[in-house]
Structure 1
Amino acid sequence: MKHKLTGAGIAIVTPFKADLSVDHEALTRIVNYNIENGMDYIVISGTTGESVTITSKEKQAIINTIITANNKRVPLVLGIGGNNTAQVIAEIQSTDFSGIDAILSVSPYYSKPTQEGIKAHFESISKVSPLPIILYNVPGRTGSNMLPETTLALANTCKNIVAVKEAAGNMAQYLRLLNDKPSDFMIISGDDDLALPVTLAGGSGVISVIGQAFPKDFAKMIQLGLDGNNKEAFKLHNKLMDITGLIFSENNPSGIKAVLEVMNLCKPIVRLPLVEATDKLKKNISEFVNNYA
């Protein structure tokens, strides 16, 4: 599993039609575009996929479309998480994981559990999961930070917890995890702007948002980082730095969908309570994409 999930993964968007139904044709286009341009794996139904506004029936249809489009070319990771531990367990127990290689599970949001509560939550999920689990720490969305000692305790005691997607935006926290982790446990960046520094410091790569728009350069940047070629890798990092900042300046995934619209990959439509990127942001994104070479 370590090798399978090393490199550049994407947190894929869920494209919508004008009537807000899922656009499966656009989804297939985005899958093919990313695989053909070197992305290593795909994460389904993460935050970027607007998982909180997707029904369970839609989620299954999205999974089916991605599995079909992928055709076993790259590993697939499925997001199953939440702040109701019993509900997360029930979803895991009722899911058909054919074609899926791992689970990404977010630290419980809104409830703001203690570190002991977060640990107990993931221990309970670990006991029922038939697949390897990637923990997901994103304090900016959950309202609580899963501290390194909690992540490391889970890494040391739950053998099917194989990685963490760390998105605290805190380089010191990354370095603590990288220094103290078990040798086979993976630290995956969840911060696009820190993906290269984390990889160069010993991380296993990234689960990226911006990567799905510029897969060729982004995947190459991460591979150069894994190879320790920091000079060439930073050339690509710097080339992508402005667009990475732009897509997160209002909200995610409105920013990345605005990029994908310019590339004719999908419409910029998002579901409420999210709204589309402002005209000003769309203009700045369009200028960047049209001048990108």
Structure 2
Amino acid sequence: MRYYQLPSRERSSSADSLVAVDEGGSAYDLTSASDDLGSFTELARAANASDRSVDAIARDRLPDAERLDVEDIDADALLPVVADEVWAAGVTYRISEEAREAESGKPDVYIDVYENERPELFLKATPSRTVGPHDSVGLRGDSEWNVPEPELGVVLHRGDVVGYTIGNDVSSRDIEGENPLYLPQAKVYDRCCSVGPCVATGDVVGDPHDLTMSLTIERDGEVEYEESTSTSEMATSCEKLVDYLGRHNDLPETVVLLTGTALVPPETFTLTEGDRVVIDIDSIGRLVNDAVVV
């Protein structure tokens, strides 16, 4: 199933609703069937407590859940899961390694990571720095070279993979290129990450290493950049990234791990305020954000 967070339609309620879309495309408000299922984390918590899958817990509640119009879901979708931490991986695709070499005066460090057993992992965002669909991602005001990085996201609950989502690891390439030690400033700042539009479980996604991923950037209604790739081009598997993330690292309850990018706009391109960034990944959906200087 795919799980979305939507605004509550009850005017008296400030809480959001967890909505499940099944394989047939029917949408169900799980929160209407149980107040204990108000978020994806709460669903994953119930699944963990009963040693069942999130889909099994959701299916038990579908008969009592209110049906919704699936056509309205994408337009109303909120951040689908509030991760305690968002982590990211770098240099997991060949094109990513080449791009990092091109931006840096010290390319050997990226070659070493690409050829090494240990992957590059870094803390990308906290909840306050993460936005959802249709919200604005941030561009650092002290950077002249800002780019989106579309990535497959792995959703973890208590260290186990419970689903997949789409992430945008917005980055200031000139800051990182000046010195690799500036990576945290190039990656972590206000609105530096977007996630959405849903969490799709493994039954929907199938093989996470065989998904088409595309990036489209629009400016003033015109397409500035458009390209696609496949997660089959990953040189490092999701399983390996998850394994290394959990080594000697006490992870919080809910984590999103972004798995790297292979879609890098040319060196002459930088995002500007008002640009529209569209990321599509097979079996998950479409994540749309505009850009704003922060």
Same fold (TM over 0.5): no
TM-score, scaled to structure 1: 0.24
TM-score by length of 2: 0.24
- Which of the pair is proportionally richer in helix? 1
